[in-house]
Amino acid sequence: MEFDMKDNSNDYDNISERFLLNGQILIDEFADSFAETALFGREDPYRLTGVRLFQKEITLSENYIYLATASQVTEEFCHYENRTFLIAGQTDYHNFHESCVVLMVGRQEQFAGIMNSAQQVFEKYREWDRKLQLSLNSEAPLDNMLEASVPIFKNPLFAHDTNFYILACPYRTGPMSVWERDSRTGRMMVPLNLIHEFKVDLEYLRTLSTKGPDIYNEDLRGYRILYRNLWVNGSYEGRLCVNEIQTAFHPGNFAALQYLGNFIELCIQHHNLFHLNLGTDTRRFFTDFLDGKISDPAKVQDFLYFLNWNRTDRYLCLRLEAEQLDEKMHSSVATLGHIESQIPEGRAFIYQQGIVVIVNLSFENSSVAQVISGLAIILREGLFKMGASAELADFFQLPQGYFQAKTALHLGEKYDSMIWCHRFDEYFLEYILEEAGENLSPKLLCSHALHVLKDYDSKNNTELYKTLKIYLKLERNALQTAKALFIHRSSLFYRIERITQLTKINLDDPKERLILQLSYCLMEGTKTFS
């Protein structure tokens, strides 16, 4: 029978202290030396530590594979349960209990060669395991681990971080893409055009959430990639890749890649492999910076140097939220690459159940309007709403900029819910009014004059409250105010005189006029004085 490559995915979590083999790995190795190979069994757990000769007199352990010739197999083999057998030659699988795993390899006369091959396979993987263990405390653990893994996968393999910087690659061959050297760091990285291809490829975006080994199809690169995402404390740190160029993938490669990934994740935790000077995850830096976890100017300066940014460049902070509930942020994560492809010097990341974009406006002398315009299609098609900060003159102002963007989004949804983009500059007055109303009722903050006019209008069926509002809005232009109210100028002058008599206000005082305008906004809860 043929085993599914992913049938044993539940066993991966059990691979911890050392790498254990199964029948599939052995049969994969035998295929190069023996013409006839077959594997039978319902399940094929990773539990084997060595090979032993079959003898009826001994108790069989589930941790060994037992070698026998086809002629030794009798109906008595049905009494053995949950054991693994290696048979030299071909025999009837029904002679074995259904819980057993059975490998049939070559011919009976090849018994000695099969025994030697089996021992060599176990020695090969024990040596690999030993090298991985030793690499943990070496000066270049990642390089050493991948170098030791070349005989296991028999294909080119490499690791990269979230920014597509190449962290280790023992060798390159065949149709692998040409990498570029980053002038800022001196390190090799995936070319920008290929990065953009990945970031808009739906299949690639799907792979960003996988937790175990999986296959990335050949549509984009021309060959399949067996990959394993690297996770630390639930955070995506990079990817381990094997290119199917020299030999076809075997099912056992899945377990081996999972095991190798476990070691690399351990190194990330203990050796800080993905530190900034090795190409850190910029998204993590930004989240830590906004959270106030990074305040050391020297560390910030190092990071800015890594990005080729300056502290005093012009910056913009954006916050995006999906109109539809997206608890797992799948649609938001898939949008990050699209956003960064539209903004040459923008960094997008998930933060507080939304998307935050940090834009360096000094790059190519961009403007706030240009950035917002460049995102219009993405936001509308993705059903996102966006808040934008004011332009910032210092990188250290970004936390305040984020607050502005978040506030603009909140106020925009409150006052102009049909608009997809809200700028803090447009809601400055509303912000001040909301802050002022946090501790006191808006009615208590309003000018007493408006309460007087409202009460008078109610009792006398007049429109003095509205008249003053329009008069102030039109900057005390009598002609325009009269037209707006559909009354004669003389009637307007009478109303204004009556207003001043009732309220004792001085309309020639700029401060009093400002207080009245703010009071109208507070009284009516409107976006602007209108």
Residue 97 within a domain: yes
Do residues 164 and 58 both lie within one domain? no
Do residues 383 and 499 both lie within one domain? no
CATH number at residue 180: 3.30.450.40
Sheet holding 84-88, edge to edge: 37-40, 101-105, 84-88, 64-69, 50-53
The pTM for the full model equals 0.55
Residue 529 within a domain: no
**Can you say whether the dihedral through the CA atoms of 271, 275, 278, 283 is positive or negative?**
positive
Residue 388 within a domain: yes
Domain containing 204 equals 136-277
Instruction: Pull the structure tokens for residue 8.
Output: 């044993």
* Single-letter residue type at 400: Q
Do residues 302 and 397 both lie within one domain? yes
**Can you say whether the dihedral through the CA atoms of 181, 186, 188, 191 is positive or negative?**
negative
Q: What are phi and psi of 243, to 5 degrees?
A: -90, 130
**Can you say whether the dihedral through the CA atoms of 255, 261, 263, 269 is positive or negative?**
negative
pLDDT digits over 203-212, tens only?
Answer: 888 888 899 9
Residue 126 within a domain: no
Q: What is the DSSP string of 126-157?
A: HHHHHHHHHHTTSSSHHHHHHHHHHHHH-S-E
Residue 504 within a domain: yes
Q: What is the DSSP string of 245-298?
A: SSS---THHHHHHHHHHHHHHHHHHHH-TT-GGGT--HHHHHHHHHTT----HH
Which residue, 119, 151, 181, sits at the end of a domain?
A: 119
pLDDT digits over 262-321, tens only?
Answer: 999 988 777 555 543 333 457 788 999 999 999 889 889 888 887 889 999 999 999 998
Instruction: Pull the structure tokens for residue 438.
Output: 């946090």
User: What percentage of the chain reaches a pLDDT higher than 90?
Assistant: 55
Strand, coil or helix: what is 350?
strand
Do residues 266 and 288 both lie within one domain? no
Bridge partners (DSSP) of residue 347 are 358
Report, as an integer, the average pLDDT of 207-225: 88
Which residue, 87, 119, 151, sits at the end of a domain?
A: 119
Which residue, 119, 153, 171, sits at the end of a domain?
A: 119
Q: Which helix (H) or strand (E) holds 462?
A: none
User: What percentage of the chain reaches a pLDDT higher than 70?
Assistant: 87
According to the model, what pLDDT value does residue 6 have? 37
Report, as an integer, the average pLDDT of 162-186: 77
Residue 400 within a domain: yes
The number of residues in the chain equals: 530
Residue 351 within a domain: yes
Bridge partners (DSSP) of residue 189 are 165, 180
More confident residue, 335 or 198: 198
CB 39 within 8 A of CB 103: yes
CATH number at residue 460: 1.10.10.2840
pLDDT digits over 357-395, tens only?
Answer: 999 999 878 889 999 988 888 777 767 899 999 999 999
CATH number at residue 66: 3.40.1390
Report, as an integer, the average pLDDT of 400-427: 90
Residue 93 has pLDDT above 90, yes or no: yes
Tell me the average pLDDT of the chain: 85
Do residues 285 and 409 both lie within one domain? yes
CB 320 within 8 A of CB 384: yes
Residue 206 within a domain: yes
CA distance 67 to 84: 9
Give me the number of domains the chain comprises. Answer: 4
Do residues 106 and 35 both lie within one domain? yes
Instruction: Pull the structure tokens for residue 169.
Output: 């690659």
pLDDT digits over 343-362, tens only?
Answer: 878 888 889 888 999 999 99
Exposed / middle / buried, residue 83 (Cβ in 10 Å: 0-12, 13-18, 19+):
buried
Do residues 286 and 432 both lie within one domain? yes
Nearest CA-CA partner of 230 in 204, 207, 250: 207
